[in-house]
Amino acid sequence: MTAATSLIASFTARESSGASGDIWAKLEQAYVVDSSDGANFNDLYQMLARAGSGESAMEYIYDQCPYARIDSDVLTVTLDFYVWVSSHDLHYTLSAGLGTISAGKVVELPRSFDVIFDDATSADLGFLFAGDFVPEMPFFSSTGQIMDDPVITASGSSVNLSVQATGALRATGLATGFKHTLTMQLSEIPVTNTDPYTGEETVLGGYSLENLQTAVTVSWVDGSGQTQSAILEIKVPECVESMVTICSDTTTLYRRKQSSGDPSYLVYYSACNGDILSEGWEEEEDK
Amino acid sequence: MTASASLITGFVKRPAASGDSFVMLEQQSWDPKIGKVTRLDLIKALENSVLGSSNSLSVDCGVDFDGQSYTTIVYAYPSPADLRFKVGLTNGEFTAPTVVELTVREAVSFALETEQSLTYPVRRFVAAEWAADVWNEAGSVVARPAITRDGQTMSVPEPIYGTAYVEYTTVRYVYSANIPARSDDPENVFQSIFYAWWDGGIELLKLSAPDGAESSYSSQMNCWGERVLINPDDEDDPAAPSMVPTRNKEITLNYCDDF
């Protein structure tokens, strides 16, 4: 198996900021649509359509997994993550146990969420945020009395009330941070499957899935000169594992691309991974 | 009657300075089957596709028909039971409550402790009995101690290992809340907070949408794979959205030869 060596890269934001207070960086994996855990009627119809027209239903699984591709027996997995920082000019270092990390790109993501004050005067948003804060309910004192709406102020990654209260705001605006892409490459490795009855060995191709487990670490220096770090366990989408599951079924199936007409066009493919093994016009002896 | 095992979602805090009065909030847990397409469902779809059958295909996605809202049950347990309180919702509407007194039977386990708390406020205490032997710190079986109660707190005189079954009644207010999608928001469209307040405190409960409701809303495809087309012009008539199946390819197969 070939895996990309880990990369330690350091990045400095291109903008400066007057943000003060604690110095921090946080990691967040970009949203992963995890659709491989089940299938719905649409999936079934899509796969039936492919199987019935001479294509492999496996192609549909590949199409539904935008995080990975297999090219010349090399599996490439690409996953995005964000680095949220306390100020735009924070210098931070990234490293990954497996894979390479792209340079950061400044992003402004539209975000909308509830901010809850639990008998408090401030709430930490977790990222630099610019937007509107609208009260969603009356503000209450700790004894359950409705108060006049406190003055709301926002600065960097925090939002503050003029008095201690319990209540909720709706935040709508832009979160600012850095987006990086983690790229992992794995080559197909020979895997031997031994028949338990005959002892016959069959060499199969596969990818070592456990090597897809990885984490990203961000490090920075805080206000007292101490190096701090945070770790993000990267979630590999289940559909990636489905794509590279080692298959021991050596059955070859075929489909007619046209159900009528003479001769028919036949496609032979592997029942295991959907690879097309051969195709051509039906010959007399095939009938 | 035994209380259903419910999920307390979001954070539930105890009132900070409430004396003896408080309101506990709880959301009814979602059925694990919600949003799941079963093998039987898929076989029905296969029948429709291959054999031309006309099985009705639908899965409970936990959201309303057009995916624009969901309905959930919220419980409020006041203590004392006759506490006067009010409730509100940050996004959505809720019905007037029905009030029931239900019997709860729960297991309370002591692990070298002298105090444990019951889950719900106690309106009327019925009974407490040890489920099995009781052990001390040395691992020896000891005489089953008397269990005393103060409010929701169950106490024994010495630290012991043991489990007791406790039966009591509690008063529950049941609300049905409908949470619409926040159509202008890019994410967290179903977020909503249910809250209760009384003379003495305030309690908040973040409501949970059914699994997959947010992604279904953003992809406009329901949990069984049917596309839900939202026409902005239909806002005045939300009960009649257009629904178009995503199946866009007709396949003609010879069942005997091709399968």
Tell me, what's the pLDDT at B213?
Answer: 87
Q: Which residue has the higher pLDDT, A20 or A70?
A: A70
**Summary mean pLDDT of chain B:** 81
Best mean pLDDT range from A13-22, A69-78, A226-235, B168-177: B168-177
Which residues numbered 171-210 in A keep a CB inside 8 Å of some CB on B?
A: 172
Ramachandran area for residue A73 (φ above 0: left; ψ -120 to 50: alpha; else beta)? left
Which residues in chain B land under pLDDT 70? Answer: 1-19, 227-259
Q: What residues of B are in contact with residue A44 (Cβ under 8 Å)?
A: 42, 45-46, 49, 225
CA angle B152, B177, B207 (to 5 degrees): 60
Tell me, what's the pLDDT at A249?
Answer: 55
ipTM of the complex: 0.72
A40 and B37: CB-CB below 8 Å?
yes
Tell me, what's the pLDDT at B34?
Answer: 86
In A1-101, the DSSP E strands lie at 8-12, 25-29, 68-71, 74-85, 91-96, 100-101
Can you read off the two tokens belonging to residue B157?
Answer: 């005189």
Tally DSSP H helices, then E strands, for chain A. Answer: 3, 19
Tell me, what's the pLDDT at B64?
Answer: 84
pLDDT at A12 over 50: no
Q: Is B90 on the interface with A (CB under 8 A)?
A: yes
pLDDT tens for residues A188-238? 666 566 666 777 776 655 555 555 678 999 999 988 889 999 999 998 887
Can you read off the two tokens belonging to residue B244?
Answer: 């178009």
Residue of A44, A118, A143 with shortest CB distance to B17? A143
Which residues numbered 131-150 in B keep a CB inside 8 Å of some CB on A?
A: none
**Pairing of β B141-142 and β B227-229:** unpaired
pLDDT tens for residues B155-185? 999 999 999 999 999 999 999 999 999 987 7
pLDDT at A40 over 90: no
Residue of B90, B202, B223 with shortest CB distance to A166? B202
Which residues numbered 169-228 in B keep a CB inside 8 Å of some CB on A?
A: 182, 184-189, 191, 193, 195, 197-202, 204, 206, 215, 221, 223-227
Q: What residues of A are in contact with residue B224 (Cβ under 8 Å)?
A: 40-42
Tell me, what's the pLDDT at A179?
Answer: 96
How many of the other CB atoms lie within 10 Å of CB of A158?
18
Q: How sure is the predictor about A275, in pLDDT bands with cuts at 50, 70 and 90?
A: low
Best mean pLDDT range from A56-70, A262-276, B112-126: B112-126
**Summary mean pLDDT of chain A:** 78
A138 and B258: CB-CB below 8 Å?
no
Contact (Cβ atoms closer than 8 angstroms) between residue A22 and residue A223: yes
Tell me, what's the pLDDT at A140?
Answer: 97
Residues 6+ away with beta carbon under 8 Å from A239 = A34, A35, A36, A61, A64, A65, A67, A68
Residue of A119, A143, A259 with shortest CB distance to B254? A259
Tell me, what's the pLDDT at A280?
Answer: 75
Q: Is B243 on the interface with A (CB under 8 A)?
A: no
Residue of B187, B225, B249 with shortest CB distance to A43? B225
Q: Is B16 on the interface with A (CB under 8 A)?
A: yes
Q: What residues of B are in contact with residue A258 (Cβ under 8 Å)?
A: none
Q: How far apart are CA B5 and CA A243, in angstroms?
A: 38
Tell me, what's the pLDDT at A6?
Answer: 38
B187 and A112: CB-CB below 8 Å?
yes
Q: How many CA atoms lie within 13 A of A268 on its CB side?
A: 10
pTM for the model: 0.74
pLDDT tens for residues A128-187? 999 999 999 999 999 999 999 999 999 999 999 999 999 999 999 999 999 999 998 876
Q: How sure is the predictor about A37, in pLDDT bands with cuts at 50, 70 and 90?
A: low
